[in-house]
Amino acid sequence: MKIEEQPTTVIAVAHLIGRVEQFRKGGFRLVQMNATQVGDEFEINYSFEKDYRFENLRLIIPAETEVPSISGMYWGAFVYENEMHDLFGIAVKGMNIDFNGNFIRTKVRYPFRNPTFQGEGPCQRK
Amino acid sequence: MSKKIVVPFGPQHPVLPEPIHLDLVLEDETVIDVVPSIGYIHRGLETLVAKREFTEYVYVAERTCGICSFIHGMTYCQGVEQIMDLEIPARAHYLRTIWSEYSRLHSHLLWLGLFADAMGFENLFMNSWRLREFVLDVLEETTGGRVIQGSCKVGGVRRDISDEKLAAMAGDLKSFETELSDLSEVFLHDDSLKSRLVGVGTLSRTDAYDLGAAGPVARGSGVAIDLRKTGYAAYRELRFEPATESAGDCYARCAVRIRELFSSIDLIRQAVEKMPEGEIEVKLKGMPDGEYFSRSEQPRGELVHYLKGNGTKHLVRSRIRTPTLTNVPSLVKMLQGCELADVPVIVLSIDPCIGCMER
């Protein structure tokens, strides 16, 4: 049995701000944003909720595409946008607080983009 | 006009068990702006899905946090089960619910102790942690682990609890509840505590909702969001209402957590009473192919495990959105306008779990 329905709508980058504005005006809260690398592309999910109704917007973009920030509508989005930049190297334009790559300090630049596994122990080599 | 100065707070600070850094912009003793920095202990656990089979990754998910490890493991398992359209036995749902609520008791009591310690109330700190030992003992007796339980698996749970033990657990909750009532009296009515908490670090209901606050931070500001209401595990068959307060200050967040302690006791009793007979796990067939945003209510608020599989034994993506990360913007807001001396208490009032956030 499904706990809840989770509709996802794939949209173009050009429509992102307009669609997020609709959620904002509709009284939805921003639950999370996340990125997934699928081949040479990134899927970026924007999750919203109102009265336990959970909905997602999805961008599918080439790796070097710049995406607009939604922090003008959802102020708290800066944590997710800086995280996406620091871990995946996704360029986000217009963030209200831009840490310029210093929000999450990692030894490896953009570690979640084509991650490598170094220093593995014996149990991983089985 | 006063000169602005920047005071660094953390990453090492007496009230912070884990590292987070805040640049506090001050005018005299008043904080006018805050810039947070995280990432001092980022572990990159999410990328381990590429190296661990989906049945093994539950061990990694559990180790995201040393306080609410069971709920991390359960939320991960629940997500894989949803992708695989796997119906687990009702008894497994109830056992997961019981262990989740014991985890909440343990987490809130740990926080109450740390909160008291931050205000210099050592005796209250020790009494909170003394009570927490009772909860940890139950977790150890029923799962074998005090902190990392390891009792959840994709398809159900690894261990059952006998009916005799369940009855004993419910019985032991009576004396625990009495002691908890005494402790709560101090937290809620002591003048010195109230003077440090009432009206401090206020977050309005509108700000809490707009900034995506989660858990007791949101509910302390009157936003009645509690993911247990979505009915995962056995919650759909149990009665409870989210604990809310309206003031939005440190006292309100403390009061919400105290009310949730009693709510957890009630939920455990209900789960014990309604515990169904039967199996505790089902056999897995196939591999996860699809995606799901598995959501649950951690002690600190809404937890999201986004999981995506492609029909192989390794998931393509695990993304863990923890409540502390989503409470950072709210923390920035509640610190603006406060006195420098109140910063430690306000920071602790969101119950920050940096280990979770830096998964």
Contact, B270 vs B277, CB < 8 A?
A: no
Residue B333 has which token pair? Answer: 């807001």
Q: Cβ–Cβ of B82/A2 closer than 8 Å?
A: yes
Per-residue pLDDT at B162 exceeds 70: yes
Residue A123 pLDDT = 52
Q: Which chain A residue has the Cα nearest residue B296?
A: A3
ipTM metric? 0.89
CA distance B250 to chain A (A): 20
The minimal CB distance from A30 to the residues B212, B293, B325 is found for: B212
pLDDT in tens, B45-99: 888 887 888 999 999 999 988 888 999 999 999 999 999 999 999 999 999 999 9
Residue A105 pLDDT = 79
Q: Which of A4-8, B15-19, B194-198, B263-267 has the lowest mean pLDDT?
A: B15-19
Q: Cβ–Cβ of A79/B326 closer than 8 Å?
A: yes
Could you tell me how many helices (H) and strands (E) chain A has, helices first?
2, 6
Regarding pTM above 0.80, the answer is: yes
Considering only residues B268 and A37, tell me which one the structure prediction assigns the higher pLDDT. Answer: B268
CA distance B181 to chain A (A): 32
Which residue from B290, B275, B244 is spatially nearest to B54, judged by alpha carbons? B290
Q: Cβ–Cβ of B229/A56 closer than 8 Å?
A: no
Q: Cβ–Cβ of B44/A111 closer than 8 Å?
A: yes
pLDDT in tens, B318-349: 899 999 989 989 999 999 999 999 999 999 99
Residue A97 pLDDT = 83
DSSP H or E stretch at residue B304: strand B301-310
Domain locations along chain A: 8-105
At B251, the pLDDT band (50, 70, 90 cuts) reads: very high
Task: Say how far apart CA B8 and CA A117 lie, in whole Å.
Answer: 34
Strand spans (E) along A1-126 = 8-11, 29-38, 41-50, 53-62, 67-68, 92-93
Q: Cβ–Cβ of A112/B325 closer than 8 Å?
A: no
Strand spans (E) along A16-71 = 29-38, 41-50, 53-62, 67-68
Q: What's the mean pLDDT when you consider all of chain B?
A: 92
- Domains of chain B are 4-357 (1.10.645.10)
CA distance B173 to chain A (A): 30
- Provide, as residue numbers in chain B, all residues whose Cβ is less than 8 Å from the Cβ of A78: 329
Residue B332 pLDDT = 92
In this prediction, the residues of chain A whose per-residue pLDDT falls under 50 are 119, 126
At B1, the pLDDT band (50, 70, 90 cuts) reads: low
pLDDT in tens, B189-233: 999 999 999 999 999 999 999 998 999 999 999 999 999 999 999
Contact, B31 vs B337, CB < 8 A?
A: yes
Q: Cβ–Cβ of B51/A124 closer than 8 Å?
A: yes
Q: Cβ–Cβ of B51/A106 closer than 8 Å?
A: no
Residue A2 pLDDT = 80
Question: In the predicted model, what is the mean pLDDT of residues B97-118?
Answer: 94
Most B-contacting residue of A24, A29, A53, A117 (CB-CB within 10 A), to test interface: A29
CA distance A64 to chain B (A): 20
Per-residue pLDDT at B239 exceeds 50: yes
Residue A126 pLDDT = 46
Task: Say how far apart CA B220 and CA B202 lie, in whole Å.
Answer: 10
Q: Which chain A residue has the Cα nearest residue B327?
A: A76
Q: Cβ–Cβ of B212/A3 closer than 8 Å?
A: no
Task: Say how far apart CA B237 and CA A1 lie, in whole Å.
Answer: 14
Q: Cβ–Cβ of A75/B211 closer than 8 Å?
A: yes
pLDDT in tens, B293-311: 999 999 999 999 999 999 9
pLDDT in tens, B271-293: 999 999 999 999 998 999 999 99
Which fold is adopted by the domain A8-105? Beta Polymerase; domain 2 (3.30.460)
Task: Say how far apart CA B182 and CA B188 lie, in whole Å.
Answer: 10
Q: Which chain A residue has the Cα nearest residue B43?
A: A106
Residue labelled with tokens 């019981």: B98
The minimal CB distance from A102 to the residues B37, B46, B306 is found for: B37
Task: Say how far apart CA B288 and CA A94 lie, in whole Å.
Answer: 37
CB-based contact, A126 to chain B, within 8 Å = no
